[in-house]
Structure 1
Amino acid sequence: MTTILDTTPDDDELGLPAARRRSAALERQIHERPGRFRALTGDRPTGRLHLGHYFGTLHNRVRLQNLGVDMMVLIADYQVLTDRDVADRLAEHVEDLTLDYLAVGIDPDRATVFTHSAVPALNQLLLPFLSLVSVSELGRNPTVKDEIAHSRQSAVSGLMFTYPVHQAADILFCKAGLVPVGQDQLPHLEVARTVARRFNSRYGPVFPEPEALLSAAPLLLGTDGGKMSKSRGNAITLAATADETARMIRGAKTDADRDITYDPAARPEVSSLVLLAALCLNRDPHEVAGEIGGRGAAGLKGLVTDAVNDRFAPIRARRAELAQDRAHIRRVLRDGNEWANAIADDTLKEVREAMKAFY
C-alpha cells in the first residue's frame, strides 16, 4: 500500500515544529480517508506492558485501528538482542505481549500482529539498506548514542549500531506511510525516510517516505519518580491485580506538601499521580488536583488506586480470559506472520527487480 500524502515544499525540513505541522495535517487526512493509510508500530518483547505503554501508545493504536487505518503491529523479537547478551524467556514474552495487545482492543481481524524472526524477507532488506547509510550517520543518531550509553553489555554489538536501519526495514517492508512515534523517536524515522529516498534515487521508485504521526502522549513517571520502565520494577503492568496496583501506588514517591496541586515542573511525582488519575477518569488534571485539595498523599493515592482499578478492570478481565486459550494466541501470531510474509516477499521481489538482482 503506497500512500501519497498532501505535503508542502518545506515538509522535508528536519525539526520538531515541522514534524508537528505534518502530523496535524496527517490527522485531518486520516479522519477524511483512513483506508488510504497503513501504519507500522510495535514493541520489543522484554516483559509485560504497563500503564505508560497504554496511555502512551496502545490507546492510540486502537484509535487508529477503529478509524479504519491498516495497522501493522510488530513484535520486535530480534531487537531484544540489541542491548543484552541473551533474550531470556523470549517465547513467554512474545505471548504475553500478544495478550496485552488483544486485551486492550487490538483486533486481529483489522490489525496484523507479527514477529521479526518469522519474516525472513523483512530482515533481508537490512543488507541493501545498510549500503545506503554511512557509519558516521549511524554514529550521530542520538537514540543510538543514548541506547549505547545505557546498554547492559560490556561491548556494543553490531546489531545495536545498525538498530535504526533495522527499524527502517520494519517500516519500509510493508510500505507504511504512517509511524506513530514520540518526538524522541524522530531521528529513527528520519533514517527510514533517508533510506527510502536514497533507494528510490539510486534504483527507482519503490518506497514511500514514511511520515511521523506524533503522539500527544502524556509523560507518566514510575512509582519511584524515575522513568517508567519494565526493567526497573517501577511500573504497574496491564496484567496487575487490583491488590498489586494498590500496593504499588501506596509505595509511590510523593512529597511533604499536603495540598495537592498539578505542577509537573515543580512537583513531578505528585503531578504524575494526578495525571494518571485524570487519564483514567477522562478529566482535567487541575480539576482532579483541586478535588483532592488538602487530603495529602493518602487522599491522592486512594483516588489514583480507585481510578486505575476501575478503568482497567475490563481489560484485566479480558486478558485473564484470553490467557486461558494459548492456542488462540498462537493462531493470531501464525496468521499475522503469514500475512506479513506475503507482504515482505512482494516487497523484496520489487527491491531485487529494481536492483537488477533477480536471476
Structure 2
Amino acid sequence: MSKSILFTGVQPSGFLTIGNYCGTINRWTEFQKKYLCFFCISDLHALTILPKKSKESLNNRILDTLALYLSCGVDPSKSIIFLQSNVYQHTQLHWILSNFSYFGELSRMTQFKYKVNLNQNSPINLSLFSYPILMAADILLYQTNFVPVGLDQKQHLELVGTIARRFNKRYGNIFTIPSIILNNVGFKIMALQNPMKKMSKSDNNLNNSIFLLDSIDSIRIKLYKSLTDSSNPPEVKYDQYNKPGISNLLVILSSLTGKKISDLEIEFNKCTYQYFKKSLLDILLEVILKIQKSYFFFRKDIHYLYDILRLGAENARIHSEKTLCQVQNILNS
C-alpha cells in the first residue's frame, strides 16, 4: 500500500526560529516514517516582499534553509526536497486556480490584512494578495493528504480546500482535499518580549525570537530577558491571559520535552522564574547545539546541497506533472 502524502514548505527569507521548530519541524522525523514527504523551499513565496539584497544573497538563504532541513532530520533518501522555482508546474497551476478563487475570500485573509497594516507606507504587491492561491497550487499538485501548519496558516489551508472543492464540483474529483495537522502543543510560539504576538523570523526586534543558529550567549540573554510577570511568590502556571510570558515559556518547554504542561506546572511548583528559565535554557541549548553541529557539517558541502535540489526537482516534476496534465486535459476537453 502506498503511503499518504504530506507537503510542507518554508520560505528562505530568514533563519528559522524555535517557534518554527516547535510548530512543525520537531515532528519531521516522525512524519517521514508515516508519509511520503515533500519538503519545499518556497523561494517564490519569499518574493512577496522583494529582497533588498542581490540574487546571490537569496541563493545563500536557500542553501541555509536546505542545510537546516537536513540538520532537523529531513532525509533526502526518504523524502523529496526541492526548490519551488525549479518546478514550473507550481506557477502554471497557480494561474489556473486563480480563475477558481474569489477576490472577496482573498481579501478576508487575516495574514494579508496583518501584513498590509504592517507595511502601510509601502506599496502592496499583488503577489502578497494572491499568495494563498500559489500555496493551493503547491499543495494540490501532489495530491497531498496532510499539511502540517502553524495556527496562523490554518485559514489559508481552509481556503485551499475551498478552491479544490470548487474545481472538483465542476470537473470531478481531480484534487485530493488535504487535511490539516496542528501540533497539540507548540503550534503557536509567541514573541519573548511581547507574548501577545507570534514569534517571527522577520521581527524587527531580534530579542523577540530565538533563532536556530543563534549563539549560546545570544540565546541565554534573550531567554533571561523574556517577559514574565510580577507574581509574588512566583507562580509557574499556564494562564495565557494573565500570565502570557510564563505560559509561552511553558509551551516551548512542553514542545521540546514532550511533557504535558500540567506536569511541568507540578515540576516547577514554588520555583523561582530564574530557576525555571535556567531549566528551559539547558533543554533549549541541548536541542539547538545538536542542530547547529549538523547544520555546519551540511552547509560546507555546497555540491551535496545542489545535488539534493537537482534530484528533488526532478522527482517533484514527475509527481506534479501528473496532476497538471490531468487538469489541462479536463480544461481542454
Give the TM-score category using the shorter length. Answer: 0.7 to 0.9
Inter-CA distance 348–275: structure 2 relative to 1 (3 Å threshold): closer
Is the contact between residue 11 and residue 46 of structure 2 (CA under 8 Å) also seen in structure 1? Answer: yes
1:1-359 paired onto structure 2 within 5 Å: 35-67=2-34, 69-82=35-48, 84-86=49-51, 88=53, 89-151=57-119, 154-218=122-186, 219-226=188-195, 227-232=198-203, 233=206, 234-257=208-231, 258-265=233-240, 266-356=242-332
Is the contact between residue 130 and residue 165 of structure 1 (CA under 8 Å) also seen in structure 2? Answer: yes
1:21-61: CA deviation from partner (whole Å, max 9, x where unpaired) = xxxxxxxxxxxx7x431011111111111111111111223
Counterparts of 2:149 and 2:256, CA distance in 1:
22
Amino acid at match of 1:249: L
Is the contact between residue 280 and residue 307 of structure 1 (CA under 8 Å) also seen in structure 2? Answer: yes
Larger mean CA deviation between 215-224 and 48-57 belongs to 215-224
> What is the DSSP-based 3-state SS (H/G/I as helix, E as strand, rest coil) of the residue aligned with 2:24?
helix
1:268-290: CA deviation from partner (whole Å, max 9, x where unpaired) = 11222233334333333344344
Counterparts of 1:165 and 1:184, CA distance in 2:
16
> What is the DSSP-based 3-state SS (H/G/I as helix, E as strand, rest coil) of the residue aligned with 1:74?
strand
Is the contact between residue 264 and residue 272 of structure 1 (CA under 8 Å) also seen in structure 2? Answer: no
Counterparts of 1:186 and 1:286, CA distance in 2:
26
Return the structure number with greater relative CO, CA threshold 8 A, min gap 6: 2
Amino acid at match of 1:235: S
Offset, 1:263: 2.4
Counterparts of 1:303 and 1:215, CA distance in 2:
23
- TM-score, length basis structure 1: 0.82
> What is the DSSP-based 3-state SS (H/G/I as helix, E as strand, rest coil) of the residue aligned with 2:161?
helix
Is the contact between residue 63 and residue 299 of structure 2 (CA under 8 Å) also seen in structure 1? Answer: no
Identity %: 27
1:77-106: CA deviation from partner (whole Å, max 9, x where unpaired) = 111122x23364311211111111111101
Is the contact between residue 89 and residue 321 of structure 2 (CA under 8 Å) also seen in structure 1? Answer: yes
Inter-CA distance 244–274: structure 2 relative to 1 (3 Å threshold): same
1:193-217: CA deviation from partner (whole Å, max 9, x where unpaired) = 2222232333343212222223324
Inter-CA distance 190–307: structure 2 relative to 1 (3 Å threshold): closer
Inter-CA distance 270–193: structure 2 relative to 1 (3 Å threshold): closer
Counterparts of 1:81 and 1:242, CA distance in 2:
31
Is the contact between residue 12 and residue 65 of structure 2 (CA under 8 Å) also seen in structure 1? Answer: yes
1:98-118: CA deviation from partner (whole Å, max 9, x where unpaired) = 111111101111111112211
Is the contact between residue 260 and residue 300 of structure 1 (CA under 8 Å) also seen in structure 2? Answer: no
Gaps of 5+ in 1: 1-32
> What is the DSSP-based 3-state SS (H/G/I as helix, E as strand, rest coil) of the residue aligned with 1:255?
coil
Counterparts of 1:340 and 1:211, CA distance in 2:
20
Amino acid at match of 1:79: H
- Number of residue pairs matched? 322
Counterparts of 1:133 and 1:115, CA distance in 2:
25
1:290-346: CA deviation from partner (whole Å, max 9, x where unpaired) = 444445232222212112112333222211221221221221111111111222223
Counterparts of 1:136 and 1:58, CA distance in 2:
33
Counterparts of 1:342 and 1:235, CA distance in 2:
38
Counterparts of 1:263 and 1:200, CA distance in 2:
44
> What is the DSSP-based 3-state SS (H/G/I as helix, E as strand, rest coil) of the residue aligned with 1:334?
helix
Counterparts of 1:109 and 1:237, CA distance in 2:
27
Inter-CA distance 37–93: structure 2 relative to 1 (3 Å threshold): same
Counterparts of 2:122 and 2:223, CA distance in 1:
35
Q: Compute the RMSD of aligned alpha carbons.
A: 2.2
